[in-house]
Chains A and B, each alone.
Chain A
């Protein structure tokens, strides 16, 4: 088993007829993901890469079971698409769209919480369980370059760093169980410690590697979770953004959530909290593999 996605996961793609959606569809199918249907309003009846397209999630669900949906619709229509997935109780909603207005995200998170479904993202690069299946753009058309099957879970706010860190692990002979791009927005559906809960129960996962950065409190919440003894496997983290924390308050660089507000969001404070909780801290991403290797013995 793996967390979130595996070879049995049946997947919808909302926005499948768009350029990003059709590219994601092609790459997901090539990797062996079971893409069962796509949704684009008014494009029902078409096919993309052989996958049937429906006008609505409801229509798609009449003919297919769906365990997960990938959202790649433009930012201004993302809320509508996510709400449709929530209303149809798709258990996992992976939102790739970037620049969704924060209010739209907040509304979707509130409804997802009530409906008991999980949102990963927005601004997620996707999710991959190497050798099994992938959602979204992660790994592009050649995931095997960076991702191989193995015992390490990876959680990253950054899509590029998810690949970069996985490649570092792969080169060191450490494959990955599941790699999750959680997105770098201020508000995201699934944060580090919520995935640790899943990795804790996943027998394939022996340790977890984290890419975090300045802004918000998600790294601190991860530290609290580990400190409380709720995750028993080794965790190593790299936290970026020292440079950005020297800029005037309110300047966001790289990701929408990467900004300092008052005393909140400093990378140094995040590292201290994580260290105190027993998380191993890498000073450059290249150290993550060694730290994890040492911890696993």
Chain B
């Protein structure tokens, strides 16, 4: 989960890193500015906020209020700000870049450092230095890294890097980035921005986190996404719903397996099809979870076809999971009249296919069944032809 700047800064401050004094203004708050000069920042999750007009400098109390109102109404790359952060304006002497993130080339966390921070860091030269988690990360190591990256004040800034490292590890961060880290004219070192991503897989050892649910891009979750995510949140056996992503096509998809789902959606789109959603269930989820997920997926309006697709399961019980799907069909408010194409194989699949044939005949569903003698990507064509 990506944190808003103000949430990230609170984590940094808790770990001894100085951040600008500021206040969070929510919609409906009556904010009375204390100072005449301030930076007013829209709280969004997407990048490139400054260039998109999401940060404004105010030179009077009146202007602060104007900027707050203006930023509350804008959308940055389609994202409405969650709130507004009003902060002291810093007198900048120098800007640095400092972050810690996981790196697939080293397969460790790495420190990414540049003595020239600020916007467009992607175009600048940065130092990438792996951290060995089998050893202690010491002040000496931190200092060495910063010297190597040509920081002028390596000794002093190494304390901040050390704090950042502790923030990264104790909060199970995926990314902890300060850009820019500012040296002010009066010699203070202050994190002027924070980009922090925490690990969703470590959430249950952080009961202290109270961050409201959100999508990775800052896009508000749709009702279908919220409902689907709830299925996984309520029951941890297998996954069914956590990955639901709402799209605007007309082919409802219930895919199985991380890799197979990606492969199949690629194939469907390759044939000109438009998915109504992406979702993947796997890890042998119980029948009930698949039923709930199918109900959410098929409750979307304007569905012209449904594609239940997966490879050859290793341990997911096909009878139980497809049984859950059939249960959902029976419970839908409107009986599905659109074609349903199922391509699946794995444990108990022969039994499952018998059961589906029987129930489809009884209830009059239009279901086409394929086992693994037909390549799964080919069945994308079948569902599109039947849906036309």
Residues of A at the B interface (CB closer than 8 Å) are 20, 23, 75-76, 98-103, 106-107, 109-111, 113-114, 125-126, 137-142, 145-146, 156-164, 167-168, 171, 184, 186-188, 191, 211, 213-214, 216-218, 221, 238, 240-244, 247-258, 262-264, 284-286
Which residues from B are CB-within-8-Å of A242?
A: 266, 269
Complex CA–CA separation, A160 to B263 (angstroms): 11
Is A217 touching B314 in the complex (CB atoms < 8 A)? no
Contacts of A164 in B (CB 8 A): 260, 311-312, 372, 376
Bound: A201/B133 CA distance, A: 32
A161 near B133: Cβ-Cβ < 8 Å: no
Provided the pairs A102-B199, A157-B259 are in contact, do residues A254 and B280 lie with their beta carbons within 8 angstroms?
yes
Task: Determine the distance from Cα of A109 to Cα of B131 in the docked complex, in whole angstroms.
Answer: 12
Q: Which residues in B have their C-beta under 8 angstroms from that of A76? A: 204-205
How far, in whole Å, are A242 and B268 apart by their CA atoms in the complex? 11
Does B222 interact with chain A (Cβ within 8 Å)? no
Looking at chain B's contact residues, is the secondary structure mostly helix, strand, loop, or mixed? mixed
In the complex, what's the smallest C-beta–C-beta distance from A228 to chain B, in angstroms?
Answer: 16
Interface hits, B278-303 → A, CB 8 Å: 278, 280, 282-283
A-B pairs with lowest CB-CB distance, top 9: A158-B259, A160-B257, A254-B258, A248-B217, A164-B311, A101-B202, A161-B259, A160-B311, A216-B104
Q: How large is the interface on B (under 10, 10 to 19, 20 to 34, 35 or more residues)?
A: 35 or more
**Is B187 on the interface with A (CB-CB < 8 A)?**
no
- Alpha-carbon distance between A168 and B215 when the two chains are bound, in angstroms: 36
**B-side contacts of A142, CB under 8 Å:** 347
B171, closest chain A residue (CB): A103
A-B contact pairs, 15 of them (CB 8 A): A102-B102, A103-B172, A103-B199, A113-B134, A184-B258, A187-B107, A241-B262, A243-B266, A249-B47, A250-B2, A250-B197, A252-B216, A255-B258, A258-B262, A286-B377
Contact across chains for B133 and A106 when beta carbons are under 8 A apart:
yes
Binding site for A on B (CB under 8 A): 2, 46-47, 102, 104-105, 107-109, 122, 132-134, 169, 172, 174, 197, 199, 201-202, 204-205, 215-217, 219, 243, 245, 256-263, 265-267, 269, 275, 278, 280, 282-283, 310-315, 345-347, 372-373, 375-378
Given contacts A101-B199, A103-B169, A168-B375, A250 and B217 within 8 Å (CB-CB): yes
